[in-house]
Chain A
Amino acid sequence: MTVAPATVKATEVRLGDRLRTRSGAELTVTRIDADFMGRADMLAFVEDSEEQWFKMPALRDSDVELVRDDAVG
């Protein structure tokens, strides 16, 4: 099992997806907030779990890094 990065549009992210920020931190999305900081062109991905609370905003039309578990061999 290896972890392969992929890029998806921010609007295509779904609950349960695991994302990696530019700083290298990762979060598993448990909530998606619209209109981050009142901006209709932004949204925010939130992990609110026992492991961590973490928020990552993104422009709606931007690409974000998705961390996928891909079975190999």
Chain B
Amino acid sequence: MVVADGLTGIDGGRIDPAVLDGKAVLVVNVASKCGLTPQYEGLERLQERYGAAGFTVLGVPCNQFAGQEPGTPEEIQRFCSTTYGASFPLTEKLEVNGRHRHPLYEWLTAVADTDGRAGEVEWNFEKFLISPAGEIVARFRPQVEPDDDQVIRAIERVLP
């Protein structure tokens, strides 16, 4: 599956493709010092609710939005686990916009949101839902909370 190809985890090791393959994956660019950072709580609730049913959140730390993810990998990982108890995998810090954006986001940002807008990630905590078959099935802008009904419905529609 494209999403799993060549991804490096926050610990510097390769993310095991088995963590993502065959699952519904909610890819979210995260930041530790953003007004939306409490969305980690909702993301972890999704992980707890659907993790055993073939779903995972994949957090993507990114420092391109006002420099709100400035920490080292260790600091980011510690923040997520101690502040929010996040149990889902995190990638290394990636660029999600611009000429050096990661191939994962080249793929993701080609998809439009519900208003028909594709292209750049708008801000921290934008969400892309990938089906177990590896198709991007939904894009939710940052203001859409992780436990919003439209996110829940979309996840439940694609669970394996």
Which residue of A has the minimal Cβ distance to B141? A37
Binds B, one of A9-17, A49-57, A65-73: A49-57
Q: Known contacts A21-B66, A25-B66, A37-B142; decide if A55 and B123 are in contact (CB<8 Å).
A: yes
Cα(A52)–Cα(B65), bound, Å: 11
| Minimum CB–CB distance for B48 against chain A, Å | 28
Interface SS of chain B = loop
Q: How large is the interface on A (under 10, 10 to 19, 20 to 34, 35 or more residues)?
A: 10 to 19
| Minimum CB–CB distance for B127 against chain A, Å | 14
Residue count of chain B within 8 Å CB distance of chain A? 18
Cα(A21)–Cα(B122), bound, Å: 18
* A53 contact from B68, B70, B99, B123, Cβ within 8 A: B99
Which residue of A has the minimal Cβ distance to B98? A53
**Residue B85 CB within 8 A of the other chain:** no
**Residues 1-47 of A at the B interface (beta carbon under 8 Å):** 21-25, 36-38
Cα(A36)–Cα(B33), bound, Å: 18
Which residue of A has the minimal Cβ distance to B97? A53
**Residue A61 CB within 8 A of the other chain:** no
Q: Mark B120-151, 1 if CB is under 8 A from A, else 0.
A: 00110000000000000000011100000000
Interchain residue pairs A-B with the least CB separation, the first 10: A53-B98, A25-B67, A23-B67, A53-B97, A56-B66, A55-B65, A21-B66, A21-B67, A53-B64, A54-B64
What residues of chain A have their CB less than 8 Å away from a CB belonging to chain B? Answer: 21-25, 36-38, 48-50, 52-57
What residues of chain B have their CB less than 8 Å away from a CB belonging to chain A? Answer: 33, 64-68, 70, 95, 97-101, 122-123, 141-143
